[in-house]
Amino acid sequence: MTLALLPLGLIALYQTNAVVEEATRLSHASLLDRTERAAARERELLQRAGGATEGLAAAILPVADDADSCTRLLKAFAEGANPFTFAAFVSLDGSVQCASDGVTRDLSEKWMYLKAQQTTRLSFALGRDLVGGGSSFLLATSPVLRDGILKGYVTIGIPHKVSAAQAGTEAPDTGIQYVTVDAQGEILSASIPEQQAPLALPVSVPRRDLVTLSGDTFFEDSRSGRERFFAVSEILPGQVSVIGSWPVDKAMSAARNPVSLMTLAFPLLMWLAGISVAIFGLQRMVIRHLSALRTAMRRYALGERENPTLDLVAPPREFAEAQQSFNRMVSILSEAERRRELDLEEKTILLREVHHRVKNNLQLVASIMNMQSRNAQTPEARRMLAQLQRRVRGLATIHRSLNTNPDITTVDSRDLIDALISEIGAMIPGAGQKLAISTDLVQVPLSQDQGVTLSMLVSEAMTNAVKNAGVPAGGKPEIRISLRETAENWLELEITNTKGKPVVAPEEAGDGTGIGSRLMLAFATQLEGEADTYETEDSYSYRLGFPAAAGAVPPAPPNQDREKHAAGAAT
C-alpha cells in the first residue's frame, strides 16, 4: 500500500506547487466561467423572446387587419405559459393597432420604435411606462413581413425583474455584478437595481464597444470609482453581451482557495488510492462472480437454453454453493419445461382430433339430410332440408379450418370465406355457371367464436343474394363478396348481387319465412357489428362493419358519404 501511495503523494505535492503559480489565472477564469454561465441563462431568455416574436409575426399576418381578432391572439399569447406579460402589433407609423391589454397607444416617439426602424432584424430595447404603473420591460421587436414587404412590428415585453433574475443569481454572495448591454450601448438588464447599472461598467470603455470585447478579462475602474475585475461574454453575436465584474479583494481571495483545496486533497488522494486497491480485490473476489451469475440468470430468463449451466473460475466457497444451486435449479426448470411442452403437444393433438370428429359428425348429419331431401315429397320440405344442410355444412367448414390451421385458436378469414363459397355455392340453386361469384378478401386472423358467427352470417347472406340475384340489362348475373380492413382493427363485409330478371325460379326460391333475416341480425349482434343494406337500380348490397378482435371495443367506422335507401330483408 505504501509503495502504491508514494507516486500519488509526489504527484499531489507537485500539483500543489503548480496551483500556487496558477491561482491568479484560475480566479480570472472562474469569473469568466461564471459570466459565461450567466450569459447562457440570459441567452436562453433572449433567444426564447426572439423566437416568440418571429413566431408571433407569422401568426399575426392573417388577423393584422382585424383589430378584435388581433387583440384576442395577443391576449392569449400574453396569458400563456411563458414569462412574457405584454405583446403588441405596431404599424409603420408607430401606432399600436392591437395589444394584449386592449389599449392602443402611440409609440412613434419611443426609443424601442426608433430602434426597430434602424434594423431589419430582431432588436431589443428597454421600455419604460409602456403599459402604465411605472413598470419597466425588456422589449423584443421583430419586423412583420408579407411577401418581403414590411407591414409593421411585433413586440413582446419581459418584466425587467425577470431578466435581472436570469442574469445573476450569485451576486449577493460573491459581489459579482452582471450588466447586459447591446451593440448600441443600451443597458437591457442587470443583477442590480436599474439606476445603479451604469456605475457597474468600466469607465474607460464606451458602452457600444463592450460587445466587441467578448471573451476578454481585465482590471479597470468602474464608473462608481472602484477598481473591479471585468469579464465580457457574448449572448447574441454582434448584438448583446453580458459584462460581469468582481471586486478586486474578492478576486484575490478566490485565488487563494485552490491552494487550500489542493492541500486538503492530498489525504483524499491517499484514501482514494486505498479504495482503488479495495475495489480491485472486490472485483477479483466478488464482482466478477456476481456478474457471471447475473449473466447466466439473464440468459436463462430470456429463453437461451444452449449450455445454460454456470461455470465459475476459482470461486470462493459461498459462490461455489450458489453455482451448485443455480445449476440444480436450471436442471429442474428445464425438465419441467420439457414436460410442459409434451403436455401441450398432447393437448393440441387432442383438440385437433375433437375438431376432426365434430367436422365428420356434421358432415354425416349433412349427408343424412341430403338423403332425406331426395326422398321429400314437397318442394317446401326439400327447401327446408337444403337450408338446414347448408347451415350444418357451414359449421363443418369452421371445424375443418380449425383442424388444418397451424394455429388452432384462430381462423384465417380469407380461407374461411373461400371454403364457405366453395361448399355452399354448389348447394344453392342457380349458383352454377349462369351466376358468377367474385371475391376480394383480406387475410386476417379471427377467433373461433368470431369465425363460427361470421361463417353462419355469410351462409345466410349468400343464400339471400342468390335468391334475389337477377340478370341486369346488357350484363351477366353476379355476386360480389368483399372483406376489407377499412380502419385499424375494423373489418367491413359486403355482399352484393345484381338485379334484373331472376336467376332462381320462384318455385325454387320460395316465399321466405324471415328466419334468415332474424339469424343475420342475431349474428351481426354477436359480432358487435353495424349492418346496413343499400339498393341501387342495378344492385342490392348487404354491408356489415365489425371489430377484428372478438370482444374488443370497436373503433368508429369510417365516414362514407353514401345515400342510404331503405330496403327490407329479401329472405
208, 233, 251: which is the final residue of a domain?
251
Q: What would the pLDDT profile of 302-357 be if each residue is shown by its tens digit?
A: 888 777 888 888 888 888 888 888 888 888 888 888 888 888 878 877 777 777 77
Same domain, 427 and 540: yes
**Three cell numbers, residue 565:** 335507401
- Long-range contact pairs involving 295-300 (C-beta distance under 8 Å, separation at least 24): 296/326, 297/326, 300/330, 300/333
Residue 517 near residue 467 (C-beta atoms within 8 A):
no
Q: Where are the alpha helices (DSSP H) in 428-514?
A: 448-468, 506-509
Q: Are 223 and 201 in contact (CB under 8 A)?
A: yes
Residue 170 sits in the same domain as residue 246: yes
R_g of the chain computed on alpha carbons = 43
Q: Where among 251, 269, 302 does a domain terminate?
A: 251
**What is the rounded average pLDDT of the residues 283-311?**
83
Give the CATH number of the domain where residue 458 resides. 3.30.565.10
Please state the pTM of the whole predicted model: 0.38
Does residue 10 or residue 165 have the better pLDDT? 10
Q: How far is CA 174 from the centre of its chain?
A: 45
Asked whether residue 565 carries a pLDDT value surpassing 50, the answer given is no
Q: Are residues 497 and 466 in the same domain?
A: yes
Could you give the 3-state DSSP secondary structure of residue 173? helix
Number of independent structural domains in the chain? 3
* pLDDT higher than 70, residue 537: yes
CATH number of the domain that residue 145 is part of: 3.30.450.20
Assigned domain for 217 exists:
yes
Residue located via cell numbers 485565488: 255
Q: Do 176 and 138 share a structural domain?
A: no
Structure confidence at residue 2 (pLDDT):
57
Exposed / middle / buried, residue 366 (Cβ in 10 Å: 0-12, 13-18, 19+): buried
Give the per-residue pLDDT at 556.
Answer: 39
Query: Are 64 and 47 in a shared domain?
Result: yes
128 vs 258: CA distance, rounded Å: 44
Residue 314 lies in a domain: no
Provide φ and ψ at 156, rounded to 5°.
Answer: -125, 150
Q: How far apart are CA 87 and CA 369, in angstroms?
A: 85
pLDDT at site 496: 92
pLDDT digits (tens, 9 = 90+) for 82-104: 778 888 898 888 888 888 888 88
- When pLDDT is averaged across residues 288-309 and rounded to a whole number, the result is 83
Range of the domain at 440: 410-571
DSSP conformation class of 223: T
Residue 244, Cβ density class (10 Å: 0-12 exposed, 13-18 middle, ≥19 buried):
buried
